[in-house]
Amino acid sequence: MPKVRNKKYLMSVVSYADSKKQEYFETIHSPRNQEYCDYHGFEYLPITDFNTIPNYCKERRIYWYRLFLIRHWITLGRFKTGDIVSHLDADICIVNGSWPLEPSPGKSFAYAVDSCNTHCMGAFSYRINAWTKQLLDNLLDENRYQKFKDTLFWHIFQDQACWYSLAGIKNTFADPDQPSWQGIADLGWHSTKESDPVYSLEELYKNVEILPVEWNVTSWDGSNNPYYRIPTKTRNKRDVIFRHFGGASWEKEWAKDPVIFNKLK
């Protein structure tokens, strides 16, 4: 029998109460996402009608829908072992689309520490396998959620705060004196034991890939942002892959030019 070729998917779960923001996503960001998917062979899955999401996937705030939905589609067989499932937040503008958002061979989970120094879930990618299936179960564990959900950090960062908990990353929210995680041992993994971490350092290094900051630029030059810590390698905006936090004053500037594709396939 011929070998089954694994598929790649890019999701965006989007529903703004502000109709102008929703329109901006659907007319500006979403077409760029589609172009990116066409270039890299991903199937694009924009989820803008929340009536299509099963109710049990919507029992928490919107930030969790994507994780419940990924697990739901794994259970139904839509996402299969070996497939790549990536997600972009609605407020991410693809600038340089030359590289696909997917873990390197041998890795199961990829994301970036953003330029404002968080282990950010604004853009992430799973390779579906036994490890990521268990990761989803850990992220969605109801006991952990009930234990921490009322803390300020979890209230603000939701599923991202849960990843901090699982990996033992110290909560540095609202600490402008926190040094860059790039200068901290193990990039901040196991920097605290107060959040009931699950994963050993060995397991994290084996399965998780932290991408360069160009994959999640939340602040370009630190202007009026006390949390800016990690500059991009160059000051050429063409080297930015994903510009995060759309809706800010810079948004139209970054989206005015076509997506860049300058890497030979």
Residue by residue, pLDDT tens for the chain (265 residues) are 556 689 999 999 998 888 888 998 999 999 999 999 999 999 999 999 999 999 999 999 999 999 999 999 999 999 999 999 999 999 999 999 999 999 999 999 999 999 989 999 999 999 999 999 999 999 999 999 999 999 999 999 999 999 999 999 999 877 778 888 988 899 999 999 999 999 999 999 999 999 999 999 998 886 667 778 888 999 999 999 999 986 666 677 889 899 999 865 4
Short-list 82, 70, 65, 84, CA closest to 15: 65
For residue 263, what pLDDT is reported? 65
For residue 29, what pLDDT is reported? 94
Rounded Cα distance between 123 and 102, Å, is 10
For residue 111, what pLDDT is reported? 98
For residue 249, what pLDDT is reported? 62
| Dihedrals phi, psi of 210, to nearest 5 degrees | -95, 120
Residues 6 or more apart whose CB falls under 8 angstroms from that of 130 comprise none
Rounded Cα distance between 111 and 103, Å, is 8
For residue 251, what pLDDT is reported? 72
Rounded Cα distance between 108 and 127, Å, is 5
CB 154 within 8 Å of CB 161: yes
How many CB atoms are located within 10 Å of the residue 98 CB?
A: 17
How many CB atoms are located within 10 Å of the residue 134 CB?
A: 12
For residue 229, what pLDDT is reported? 85
pTM for the whole thing?
0.94
Angle between helices 130-139 and 159-167 (to 10 degrees): 110
Question: Which CATH architecture does the domain made up of 8-173+180-255 adopt?
Answer: Alpha-Beta Complex (3.90)
**Local structure of 184: helix, strand or coil:** coil
